Structure formats: C-alpha cells, structure tokens
Amino acid sequence: MDVLRLATVLETLPRERTRLLDNLGRLRREVGPITPELSDALADHMRLRHGDVHEVTSFYSFLQVPVDAVRVCTGPVCDSRGGREQLGAGAIEVPCLGHCELAPVVLHGDEVVGGVTYSTNDGASLGLARRDETLADYERRGGLALLREPLALERIVAELSASGLSGYGGAGFPTWRKWEAVAAEAGPRYVIVNADEGEPGTIKDRYVMELRPHLLVEATLLAARALGAMEAYTYIYIREEYATARARLTAAIEEFRAAGLLEGLSLDLVVGAGAYICGEETAMLESMEGRRGMPRLKPPFPSQVGYLGRPTLIQNVETLAHVPAILRNGGDWWAGLGSPATGSPGVRLWSVTGAVARPGCYEAPNGIVLRELIDGYAAGLVGEPGAIVPGGAASGILPPAALDVPLTREALTEWGCGVGSAAVQVFPKSYAPLRLLAETMRFFAEESCQKCTPCRIGNRALHHVCEELEHGRAAMSRRQVEEWLDAMTLTSICGLGQAAPYPVRNAFERWPELFAPLGPATLGEPASA
Amino acid sequence: MIEFTLDGRPASAQEDELLVHAAARNGVFVPTLCHDDKLDPYGGCRMCVVGVEGSSRPLPACATRVSAGMVVSTNSNVPQLRKTLTEMLLSEHLNANPGGRPNELVDLARELGAEAPLVLPDAKREPYADRNRLMGYEPDTCILCNRCVRYTQEVMQCSALSLEGRGPEARIVPTWERSWLDTECELCGGCLSVCPTGAIYEKFLEGAGVEERQLEQTKTTCTFCGVGCQIDLNVDPETKRIVKVTSKPEYVSNEGDLCVKGRFSFNFVHHPDRLTEPLVRGEDGELHPATWEAALAAAADGLKGVIRRHSAQAIGVLASARLTNEENYLIQKLARIGLGTNSVHSCEAT
C-alpha cells in the first residue's frame, strides 16, 4: 500500500457516514483494493468504528478486488452460452453483469471485452434507437420544455394515473400513488433513482442511461421539482458494473448544471459495489446511509420513512424515463400505446436475451404475446427453445408451450409466473431445466443479505436440492421442500426470499418427472402472498 | 391501555407495546431468538412471526407494535412456520454445545419436535481460535441472529464483532478476524451473555462441561467497584466452587451488563493466597491470625506512632477503587478528622 498516496486521498474524503460507500469506491480506484488496514484508516478518518467499515466493505463483492480485475458473468443466460468457459486464472465469477444480450460477457476492468453494440427500436415513448449525444440533441427532440414550464403536482399525478404507468423495476406499484404518497408527507423529501439494475437478464435501464441519459436526468429533476425536493437532494444509485452509463450520466448532469438547469437542486450519483440486494429499495437506503445493504422491515414504507428518515420517492430508471413522454403527450395517449381495454396500458422495455436471433432491448406494448415479442422484435428463435424465463430470476419458468401467452400479470399468473422486470430469457432445449433452476437458486443464495433465516438458509438448501436432483438424488423429501418454500414465501423480509420459491414451484408443475426422486407431492394449496 | 384480540380472546396492551411482550402478558408465549430487549427490534430470525389480520404475510412479534383493535393469531400456520424455521437453523447447526451455555435453539427444537432434514453442504464454517484466555467462539454454533454484533454496536458502542460478508460465506467474526485482544474489545463478555445458542462462551477449565442450567445460582453484589452490579455466582453443586458469573437484564443497577472484572475475575474467591481472616505480624516477623479488635488496634498503634514521630502530614491515605461513594466519604473523614491529614486519594482517579 502506498501510504503517501493514501494520506493524500484520505484528506479529500468527506466524513459523513452517508459517503462511506463512495469513499470506499474512491479508495479502491485510487489506492487499491480495500484491505483491513485501508478500512481502518478510512474508519479513523470518518470517525467510525473499525467494525462498521469492515461490515460494509465485506458486504459488497468488488471492494476487495482490484479495479482491473477480469469479471466473468456466470448468470443463467451467460452460463447457457458458455460463460463458465471464459473463467481463467484470477478471474472473478459474477452473477449478472447486465449485458446479457452480448452473452457470454466478460468485463476487463470497466471494459466489456469485445465492445458493446446496441440492438433496440425507436419506440414512441423512449425512442432509444436515436441516441442523444449532447443536451442540445435532447432539446431538439422536445426535451427540457417540461423543466422550463413545470406542471402542477396535481396535473402530473392525474396524467400518471391516466397513463396507468406502474413501477418497471419488478414490483409493479402504480407510479401515481407513489408520487401522491410522498407529496402528502411533510418535506423535506428525497428523490432517488434506482439504477441498481441487477435482475439477471435485465438490460433495459442500462439502455436508457447509455442512450438517453438526458431523458433520465430531466425526468429526475421533474420529480424533484414536482415534489418540492428543492432544498433537498436527488440521487441516482447506479451499479458499479455500469461504467459507460455512469460516465454518460455524469456528463449529462454536468451539461444540465452548465445550462443552469440544476439551480436550487442537487443531483448526485451513488455508485454501488456489487450487491444485487441493493436494488431492493430499503436495502438501497441502508447502503446509501453507509451500512450493510440489508432490507428494512416494512411498514413503514420509504414514501413515509425513507432516506435518512425522510419521505422518499424511489423510482426505477425506466419508470421515470417514461414520465416526460406521458406529461408531454398526455396520460391517455401513453396508455393508448398499449391496450388499456384489456388492462395493459402503455409500453415498456423488454430485455430479450438468450436463444433469439437479435437479442436486445425493445420498447413494445404491455401485454404483448411472447411469440410476437420474440418474432417481431428479436428476429425469432434460434434453435428449439427449452425453458423460457419471462421476467427475471424470480419471475418463474415457462415451457415452450407458453409461447402464445400474452405477457400480462393475469395471463402469467395462470402459469404461476410474473412479468417482473420484463427480462425475457430464452434457453435452448439443450440447457436442462434443472441446471437453470440450480443456477437460479445459487444466485439467490449468494445474493442473500443474510438477515432473515428463510432466505439465508432456504435458498442454499434449494440450490443443494437441485444439484442433488441432477444426480438423481433426493436431499429432502418433496413435503419438506414445500414446507420450506412456504416459509420462504411467507416469512422472508423482502422480495428476494419471498419470490425465490416461484421458479421451483413452476418447475414442480412443468417438469414433475424431474422431481420424482423427492417423492409424492403433498395435497393442498401452496401458500400465496 | 388498548384492546386487541389474541387467538380469538380479548386482550389488552399498552400503547405501542411490542406484540411479543403484549402476548406474553396475556399468557401466550411467542418464541424469539434474535430479539433482545436491550437492542433495537431486528426481526431477522423470523421465529416470532404471528398472523395479523389485514397483513398478507405473518409479521414478526418482536418488531410489530400492538394497535387498538388488532387481531392477532398464533394458531393457523404459525406453528408449522416455527417448526420449519427451526429445521432451517438446525440444518447448519453443527455444534450444539461448545461451552456449556444454554442453547435456546436446541430447546425450541425439542419443544417443537423439529429435526434437521438435511445438513447443508456449506454449513461448516472456518474455525476461529482466539488467543485471549476468557472467551471462546465456535462459528458452527452461530445462527447469525446478530445479537452479539448489535450488542457491541448499540449497547457497548465498541468495535469488537462484525457481521462479515454476504451469501453462504457470511459469518460473525471479531473485526477483520483479529484476536479480540487486538480490537476495541474490553472482554466484557456482553456478546456472550446475549448469544442465544452459546456460540460465544467462557473458556474456563473449571466447570467446563457442566451445563449452566445445572449450576446453583446465588445472587450477590459485585465487589469490584462502587457501581454495585448485581451478579449471580454460579456454583458447581458437586464441588461447591464458583465456576462462572452471570447477570440478568432485570437487575437494576447494571441491567445484566458486566465488565471484564465482574464477569471473569472471580477466581480470587477460591485462591489459596486469599486472606480469610485478619493477620498481624508478630515479634518473630511472621504473620499470625488475630481477631478484628486486635488487628485494628495494631493498625491504630502503628498510625499513631507515625504521627508521633513524623506528624500527621507524613500519612497519606489511598482508598481502594472497590469502595462505594459512602465508603469513600468515610475514608476522607477518617483521614482528615481522625488522622489529621489532607493527603487522600483513590486509585480510581488514576
């Protein structure tokens, strides 16, 4: 360790606990991987306990590895396309790097090996195919008008309500309700953009940030102004692996600042350090406050008690990015982009990856039929499909027979699945469902924050059960497995543990023969939330 | 007081009372592992989940406050959930009793008839050996309830233990896996006292292997300083020797907290060098047993002799740190009025 370098960097680091994660990231980039000595030096500088910094440092995957490390993605899509073969000496295995359309993905430092290409379309709401290079580009397309002549909050809430926009991070909570709830609380309030996209197979937020960063910045500022977050602060919490998105957002924010559009507002990036769970909103708040990213007990919800105990609007990148189009053209117009009559208003970004001809990120109507999405946007299937995951790791597993299902909450519920983050992953027939299931459970086990028993132990056990089944062995009986799944769904603190059982239950249903060694299924309804 | 319903019967609770306490006062015991009244509600082990009408999922009784009209159930699926959660914890509980401390998980398992259906292949944690002579830690007994860590952070405000890592490798270790002697730890043993499974335990040879519950407890006051901490001397019923010191949260002056001396320094009681009666040095230069009257008279004579030969200013009085305020008051009175010296000091001041 270069002690002189450390002393110089330390001097410049802020002492507020909320800056702990940022400080650790800077130390890692500018001095080296965080060792116990570095951690203690930072703790002394920030007047924190050594243990506090130890707990935080060890929680994240990347703080103790060099910045130029080779990171190999072994998420399900990459694994099905030979990701593990890329694992060389010294390489670090990472569950999902968010570039699944380029699978298998390897990062060398911040760079994606082989470069990044985009495959998208020119949708009416987000128009990702036309990339904004500068703020002027963005303004020429009609951007900034809303920021210059802000609408009243009531009008915004009314338009959002008419649009039917709901959270696209996975939970699907109606957006207007969130805005209304936060506005109803006494200020000051915070606005936080959740750009910690980490759901395997999901690439959409990265597309928005890399192709249309100004759009996201404007949408964020609109929210801040509408909610009177004037004197307070606005943050974008972005995952560490998204270096390009980070650079583009930083540049865009600077352009806004130079143009005087940040007057009275503060917009900062908070960079994660490799922890899927920090995409869970309360875990994100903990992470931002300088603690381990372990979810809080709810209620209270962040709209009441959020960042630093203040009412906080937390929105996913894509959700927020749709807001300017809705406000410009009206909620009804936006709803009409989908099929509001059938309960699927508006459009969303679908990340389509795996065994398709043109993997990428496409804006398409809500409720689109799976086959239409694959054929009409991703240029069709490649080879014979096996398992299809409709919306991210916990959204469940569909069989090829479900290709003609409309991707709506209702239709997918019938298949025991959910739309989740709209990350459609097509696996080739050669990729065994049990392998997919084992990989999925391994992912949940490794990403579990360890706070609650059912998630902490249940996911590890299920991973083991799946691996044993691959060898035809039963680690637990079917009855026991189902009891454990129930306990996970019902007693886990956050969505990770609550939703992790879905793919297992789907597989029970879809491929009962694979689970024969576990013995007979029990009678009775599985627990539902 | 507010009214609520517990298992179909009317019950009352104080405003904002934790459900786990309200249930207990109404005769319904809700098991907990990660909960400790000294610490902020955590809701991690989930053992205390109960059904609450209007909530789609059961809620942790240790972190949920009773509200008027709340309808709470510990029947329906709650017993099964408890049993499953216990099975989960048992599936990585490789060592149930490293040091004779009570193990609440094992008790609960016995009560619920829960057994581990499997042993997790990654259950084995890296062993931890600490060179200190007082406290041992067996990671394979830990259930990651985080009570010890939260105790160090919330009660002792020190950095001794950390919840390290994420995923299957996560574990509790002294900060950066150092010896406790190299952290801020003062070896107060508080972490040990809040551990529900006995993963952190006393390293004593004496009494090792005797379960804490089989020891006879005698409540007394710690003699080490004037705080007056209430302690329980745990006596081996066979040998009648003190083998450990514990304390209870309901003890008023210290609420169950102790310092390193109070918890670990009791060996003097049985030490062969311990003085158990007054001794006075005789003409032959040796110490001889004496009565208190004779001993005090000898001391008084000695002091008077010094005053006579060198004046009272030749005497200084050094009071023990073990004295109470009242005793310290008497000491200075003895010094100033009885002996006539203003040179009074307490070793606590250094």
- For residue B64, what is the domain's CATH number? 3.10.20.740
Give me the half-sphere count of Cα atoms (radius 13 Å) on the Cβ side of residue A272: 29
Same domain, B121 and B38: no
Q: How far apart are CA B265 and CA B231, in angstroms?
A: 12
Q: Distance (Å) from the C-alpha of residue B262 to the closest C-alpha of chain A?
A: 25
Tokens of B43: 């809701």
pLDDT in tens, B211-224: 888 899 999 999 99
Tokens of B162: 């950390």
Confidence of residue A170 (pLDDT cuts 50, 70, 90): confident
In this prediction, residue B350 carries a pLDDT of 57
Instruction: Report if residue B10 sits inside a domain.
Output: yes
Tokens of A263: 């007057």
Contact A453 B118 (CB under 8 A): no
Query: Going by C-beta distance under 8 Å and a sequence separation of 6 or more, which residues neighbour residue A247?
Result: none
Instruction: Report if residue B209 sits inside a domain.
Output: no
Query: Going by C-beta distance under 8 Å and a sequence separation of 6 or more, which residues neighbour residue A217?
Result: A249, A252, A253, A256, A267
Same domain, B97 and B188: yes
Q: What is the mean pLDDT of residues A281-286?
A: 98
Residue A126, pLDDT above cutoff 90: yes
B63, B80, B118 ranked by CB distance to A483: nearest: B80
Residue A528, pLDDT above cutoff 50: no
Same domain, B301 and B319: no
Residue A241 C-alpha from the chain's centroid: 12
Contact A452 B160 (CB under 8 A): no
Tokens of B217: 């407890």
In this prediction, residue B266 carries a pLDDT of 93
Instruction: Report if residue B208 sits inside a domain.
Output: no
pLDDT in tens, B143-166: 999 999 999 999 999 999 999 999
Same domain, B283 and B264: no
Same domain, B139 and B234: no
Tokens of B272: 């062969």
Same domain, B237 and B158: no
Residue A229, pLDDT above cutoff 80: no
**A337 φ/ψ sector (left φ>0, alpha ψ -120 to 50, else beta):** alpha
Q: What is the mean pLDDT of residues B254-269?
A: 94
Contact between B41 and B157 under an 8 Å Cβ cutoff? The reply is no
Contact A493 B122 (CB under 8 A): no
Residue A529, pLDDT above cutoff 50: no
Tell me the chain B residues in contact with residue A476 when contact means C-beta distances shorter than 8 Å: 117-118
Element (H, E) at B13: strand B9-13
Q: Distance (Å) from the C-alpha of residue A33 to the closest C-alpha of chain B?
A: 15
Q: What is the mean pLDDT of residues A320-347?
A: 96
Element (H, E) at A226: helix A213-226
Tell me the chain A residues in contact with residue B144 when contact means C-beta distances shorter than 8 Å: 450, 456
Query: Going by C-beta distance under 8 Å and a sequence separation of 6 or more, which residues neighbour residue A304?
Result: A181, A185, A311
Contact B118 A464 (CB under 8 A): yes
Confidence of residue A523 (pLDDT cuts 50, 70, 90): low
Instruction: Report if residue B86 sits inside a domain.
Output: no
Other C-beta atoms lying within 10 Å of the C-beta of residue A472:
9
Between the two ends of chain B, the Cα-to-Cα distance in Å is: 50
Residue B191, pLDDT above cutoff 60: yes
Domain that holds residue B106: 92-203
Tokens of A485: 């799944």
Q: What is the DSSP letter of A283?
A: H
Of the residues B49, B76, B103, the one at which a domain ends: B76
Residue A231, pLDDT above cutoff 70: no
Lowest mean pLDDT among A17-26, A43-52, A183-192: A183-192
- For residue B175, what is the domain's CATH number? 3.30.70.20
Q: Are strands A70-73 and A92-94 parallel, antiparallel or unpaired?
A: parallel
H helices within A303-452, ranges in order? 317-329, 331-336, 370-376, 409-414, 433-447
Q: What is the mean pLDDT of residues A244-253?
A: 98
B58, B88, B91 ranked by CB distance to A490: nearest: B58
Phi/psi at B171 (5° precision): -160, 170
B77 touches chain A (CB under 8 A): yes
Instruction: Report if residue B83 sits inside a domain.
Output: no
Tell me the chain A residues in contact with residue B120 when contact means C-beta distances shorter than 8 Å: 457, 460-461, 464
Same domain, B103 and B185: yes
Residue B327, pLDDT above cutoff 60: yes
Of all residues in chain B, the percent with pLDDT exceeding 90 is 90
In this prediction, residue A88 carries a pLDDT of 85
Tell me the chain A residues in contact with residue B89 when contact means C-beta distances shorter than 8 Å: 453, 457
In this prediction, residue A228 carries a pLDDT of 83
Q: Distance (Å) from the C-alpha of residue A383 to the closest C-alpha of chain B?
A: 36
Contact B87 A480 (CB under 8 A): yes
Question: Which ipTM value was assigned to this complex?
Answer: 0.94
Q: How far apart are CA A392 and CA A394, in angstroms?
A: 6
Mean residue pLDDT of chain B comes to 94
Same domain, B192 and B105: yes
Residue written as token pair 């067996």: B138
Nearest chain B residue to A483 by CA: give it: B84
Contact B77 A490 (CB under 8 A): yes
Q: Distance (Å) from the C-alpha of residue B184 to the closest C-alpha of chain A?
A: 9
Q: Distance (Å) from the C-alpha of residue A15 to the closest C-alpha of chain B?
A: 18
Tell me the chain A residues in contact with residue B60 when contact means C-beta distances shorter than 8 Å: 297
Residue written as token pair 């627990």: A527
Tell me the chain B residues in contact with residue A461 when contact means C-beta distances shorter than 8 Å: 88, 91, 118, 120
Residue written as token pair 């930083």: A250
Same domain, B63 and B122: no
Residue A230, pLDDT above cutoff 80: no
Instruction: Report if residue B9 sits inside a domain.
Output: yes
Instruction: Report if residue B82 sits inside a domain.
Output: no
> Which of A58, A65, A441, A494 is the mutation pick for testing B, counting most B CBs within 10 A?
A58
Q: How far apart are CA B161 and CA B191, in angstroms?
A: 9
B87, B117, B144 ranked by CB distance to A450: nearest: B144
DSSP letters spanning A12-25? HS---GGGHHHHHH
Report in angstroms the alpha-carbon separations of A475 from A49, A439, A445, A514, B122: 42, 17, 17, 14, 14
In this prediction, residue A32 carries a pLDDT of 95
Tell me the chain A residues in contact with residue B118 when contact means C-beta distances shorter than 8 Å: 461, 464, 475-476
Lowest mean pLDDT among A38-47, A140-149, B208-217: B208-217
Instruction: Report if residue B188 sits inside a domain.
Output: yes
Contact B49 A292 (CB under 8 A): no
Q: What is the mean pLDDT of residues A160-172?
A: 94
Q: Distance (Å) from the C-alpha of residue B124 to the closest C-alpha of chain A?
A: 13
H helices within B140-285, ranges in order? 147-150, 190-194, 260-264
Residue B291, pLDDT above cutoff 80: yes
DSSP letters spanning A427-440? EETTS-HHHHHHHH
Same domain, B101 and B192: yes
Residue numbers of B between 168 and 227 with CB closer than 8 Å to A:
168, 170, 175-176, 178, 183-184
Residue A186 C-alpha from the chain's centroid: 29
Q: Residue B110 class from Cβ within 10 Å (0-12 exposed, 13-18 middle, 19+ buried)?
A: exposed
Residue A235, pLDDT above cutoff 70: yes
With CA atoms as reference, report the closest residue to A63 among A21, A96, A92, A10.
A21
Other C-beta atoms lying within 10 Å of the C-beta of residue A506:
22
Q: How far apart are CA A502 and CA A283, in angstroms?
A: 22
Query: Considering its fold, how many domains does chain B have in total?
Result: 5
Mean residue pLDDT of chain A comes to 94
Q: What is the mean pLDDT of residues A97-115?
A: 95
pLDDT in tens, A441-496: 999 999 999 999 999 999 999 999 999 999 999 999 999 999 999 999 999 999 99
Same domain, B17 and B47: yes
Taking the CA atoms of residue B107, residue B111, residue B112 and residue B115 in that order, the dihedral angle to the nearest 10 degrees is 50
pLDDT in tens, B17-70: 999 999 999 999 999 999 999 999 999 999 999 999 999 999 999 999 999 999
Q: Distance (Å) from the C-alpha of residue B40 to the closest C-alpha of chain A?
A: 12
- Give A106's strand partners: A72
Tell me the chain B residues in contact with residue A448 when contact means C-beta distances shorter than 8 Å: 166-167
With CA atoms as reference, report the closest residue to B164 among B188, B189, B139.
B139
Same domain, B303 and B326: no
pLDDT in tens, A355-383: 999 999 999 999 999 999 999 999 999 99
Peptide bond into A104 cis (omega under 30): yes
Q: Distance (Å) from the C-alpha of residue B50 to the closest C-alpha of chain A?
A: 10
Q: Residue A25 class from Cβ within 10 Å (0-12 exposed, 13-18 middle, 19+ buried)?
A: buried
In this prediction, residue B204 carries a pLDDT of 84
Residue A213 C-alpha from the chain's centroid: 17
Q: What is the mean pLDDT of residues B183-212?
A: 90
